[in-house]
Amino acid sequence: MQVSDRLRNINGGGADGWALFERSREMIAAGTPVVELTQGEHDIPTDPSILEAMHAAALKGRTGYAPIMGLPQLRDAVADRIAARTGVPTTRGNIMIQPGGQAGLYATHLAALNPGDGALFIDPYYATYPGTIRGVGGLPRPVTARPENGFRPTVADLNAAAEGAASLLINTPNNPTGVLYGADTLGGIAQVCGDHDLWLISDEVYDTQVWDGTHVSPRALPEMASRTLVIGSLSKSHAMTGSRIGWVCGPEDMIAHLGDLATNTTYGVPGYIQEAALFALQAGSALEAKVAAPFKRRRELTLKALGKQNVLRPVHPDGAMYVMLDIRATGMSGEEFGNALLDAEHIAVMPGESFGQAAAGHIRIAMTAADDVYADALSRIVSFAQSLT
């Protein structure tokens, strides 16, 4: 018996980009302390008040089947949040609750693509993007966002790749670069989507972590609401990564079809988790700001520390919980530097090559350790890089 071609080829015949992370976990399991600055995992747990709401909901019996589209009250809360943030009228008919942002990415691509359709995404990219596209039978087409353009895609590059494609996936604020797409970039993206009749899939899970500028959802741009599918999640905004709770926002007819998909796949999200998510959203922006505050603080700490040297050059982090560093002055690739750093200093970072070829010669640091641990690790990374030059 054989595994299907779709699953065997989900990583395109290569690695999934997580080799260094897995090696660091093996070191930890063997008893070697490692400072992990790899995953986008908060160093603070989910707020106790959210967990109490989850516990209370479970005790009330919210452990059976929940509405497959999502609790009506939760869909209303998500719709209200989006309408308030974007100015675009949004109702529960535009919202489908998903078991996390990753499930939303899979569902939207399955909805937007027929087998063999081209699907555009921006390189550098979050590691699962091409595998998600292959997993639904699409053909991944990376569009390079070059360092000299601030890792923002150009209209010319998008147009060059768009012929015959059916969708474009973007992420702003961006993982891994921390770059925020401004009005010019988003306007160009909207133009390309209109000219080539593309679905725009907009991954906006970092919309509460914006340090410079203002987050704009492309769904708010003229004529874009009818062709945009927005991925949202409480993983990053509320430190609920393990709860697996998010949503898709889009046109009502598409959302109805996503309900049909969920009936035949996930069968919805547990009710007690949805009630906790409703509580979290009703807690308002103060809780979101509390969750984001450590990353804003560490971002300033990072820029200050890196300003004292010229070996590691940061990509200016406008948002998200990461900083990407250009390490080419060391003469190493991102993978070489990351593995050497892990061996020498027992600090784990993600090689830029994990996120595509546009990020080669870079590393991504997740600002996800306590301030003192993070500051010490950052100092050691700088010293290590300086020792190589």
Angle between helices 155-162 and 183-196 (to 10 degrees): 20
Work out the average pLDDT over 301-312.
93
pLDDT given at position 224: 98
- pLDDT of res. 15: 64
Distances (CA, A) of 140 to 112, 126, 340: 13, 13, 31
Contacts of 185 by beta carbon, 8 Å cutoff, 6+ apart: 152, 153
Confidence of residue 308 (pLDDT cuts 50, 70, 90): confident
CA separation for the pair 48, 69 (Å, rounded): 27
C-beta of residue 288 within 8 angstroms of C-beta of residue 42: no
Angstrom distance (rounded) from CA 116 to CA 98: 25
- Average pLDDT of the segment spanning 340-351: 97
Question: Where do the domains of the chain lie, and which CATH numbers do they carry?
Answer: 5-45+288-387 (3.90.1150.10), 48-285 (3.40.640.10)
Q: What is the DSSP string of 219-284?
A: GGSTT-TTTEEEEEESTTTTT-GGG--EEEE--HHHHHHHHHHHHTTT----HHHHHHHHHHHHT-
Residues linked to residue 322 through DSSP beta bridges, in sequence order: 366
| DSSP 8-state assignment for residue 210 | B
What is residue 277's predicted lDDT score, i.e. its pLDDT? 98
Q: What is the pLDDT of residues 136-145, one digit of tens each?
A: 999 999 999 9
* Cα–Cα distance, 275 to 59 (Å, whole number): 12
- Whole-angstrom Cα distance, residue 157 to residue 5? 31
**What's the pLDDT tens digit per position in 91-144?**
999 999 999 999 999 999 999 999 999 999 999 999 999 999 999 999 999 999
Rounded to the nearest 5°, which phi and psi values hold at 104? -65, -40
Q: Name the residue with tokens 């927005």.
A: 230
Q: How confident is the model at residue 16 (pLDDT cuts 50, 70, 90)?
A: low
Q: How confident is the model at residue 11 (pLDDT cuts 50, 70, 90)?
A: confident
pLDDT attached to residue 126: 95
Which residue has 């898709």 as its token pair? 248
What mean pLDDT is predicted for residues 227-244? 98
**Mean pLDDT within 75-89:** 97
For the chain, the average pLDDT equals 96
pTM: 0.96
Average pLDDT over residues 5-9: 88
Average pLDDT over residues 280-300: 97
H-helix or E-strand containing 31?
none
Structure confidence at residue 5 (pLDDT): 87
DSSP H helical ranges for the chain:
5-8, 19-29, 48-59, 72-86, 101-112, 129-135, 155-162, 183-196, 252-263, 271-282, 285-306, 334-345, 371-387
Identify the three-state secondary structure at position 157.
Answer: helix
Q: Is residue 17 predicted with pLDDT exceeding 80?
A: no
Residue range 278-294: mean pLDDT, rounded: 97
Residue 285 CB partners (closer than 8 Å, separation 6+): none
Contact, 9 vs 134, CB < 8 A? yes
Query: Distance between CA atoms of 344 and 332, rounded to whole angstroms?
Result: 15
What pLDDT is stored for residue 14 in this prediction? 66
pLDDT of amino acid 51:
98
Residue 196 has pLDDT above 80, yes or no: yes
Task: Give phi and psi for 186, each to the nearest 5.
Answer: -65, -35
The pLDDT tens digits for 136-192 are 999 999 999 999 999 999 999 999 999 999 999 999 999 999 999 999 999 999 999
- Residues 322 and 365: beta-carbon distance below 8 Å: yes
Q: Are 49 and 283 in contact (CB under 8 A)?
A: yes
Average pLDDT over residues 274-281: 98
